[in-house]
Amino acid sequence: MTDTPSPADEPAYARVAFQGALGAFSHEACLALRPWDEAVPHATFAEALAALTSGDCDMALIPVENSSIGAVEPAATLVRESGLAVLADVWRPIRHALMSVEGARLADIRSVESHPIALAQCAATLKGMHLKIIEHFDTAGAARDVAEAGDATRAAIAPVGAAEVYGLSILRNDLQDSSDNRTRFLLLGVSQG
């Protein structure tokens, strides 16, 4: 007798909607929790949930709470009002990195952009850096835009993975104010009842 798993033991392939661009924290969470699935990016939380309810995606992975700032809005409200089934509930560590184009130096940076939730998690650290703060729809989207602009005075706050995706250099790791910064993600599916 062998220990080879049967096809019934293999995880089912699914499309999982998330909010953000490739390299976002939600994308990283999808890859960590369900690496066998296809992670499908959406610009907003509402669009990610609509992809699930329309049947375009089989599940959605949505952040609803952060240990530093509380509820992640509007995601928490959208999830609460959605009537969708919670398939899994997991807390993940969130580590913010400051990144810019190749060759940029920390002393060159004049502005930083990221999602408002990420900026709030780094507020005290950023205050001491005296940078112009620019809100963006997404952490990884901010990294993508900084890369495309090619401006060494602009930086993004995003996951380390976003620097790899968009070819940016990390200027500083662990920008978050709390060393125990964590976000609670819910894996959602359509209710079967």
- Is 77 annotated in the active site? no
**C-alpha 148: how far from chain center:** 19
Mean pLDDT along residues 77-96 = 96
- Is 18 annotated in the active site? no
Residues 157-191 have pLDDT tens digits of 999 999 999 999 999 999 999 999 999 999 999 97
Please check whether residue 153 is in contact with residue 105, taking contact to mean a CB–CB distance below 8 angstroms.
Answer: no
The CA-CA-CA angle for residues 54, 28, 113, to 5°, reads 95
Alpha helices by DSSP H, the chain: 25-33, 45-53, 75-82, 116-121, 123-127, 139-149, 160-166
Q: Which residue matches tokens 């609803």?
A: 64
- Predicted local distance difference test score (pLDDT) of residue 13: 83
Mean pLDDT along residues 105-117 = 95
Please check whether residue 41 is in contact with residue 49, taking contact to mean a CB–CB distance below 8 angstroms.
Answer: no
Mean pLDDT along residues 12-27 = 92
**Domains located in the chain, CATH noted:** 14-93+181-189 (3.40.190.10), 97-172 (3.40.190.10)
The pLDDT > 70 percentage for the chain reads 93
Residues 113-158 have pLDDT tens digits of 999 999 999 999 999 999 999 999 899 999 999 999 999 999 999 9
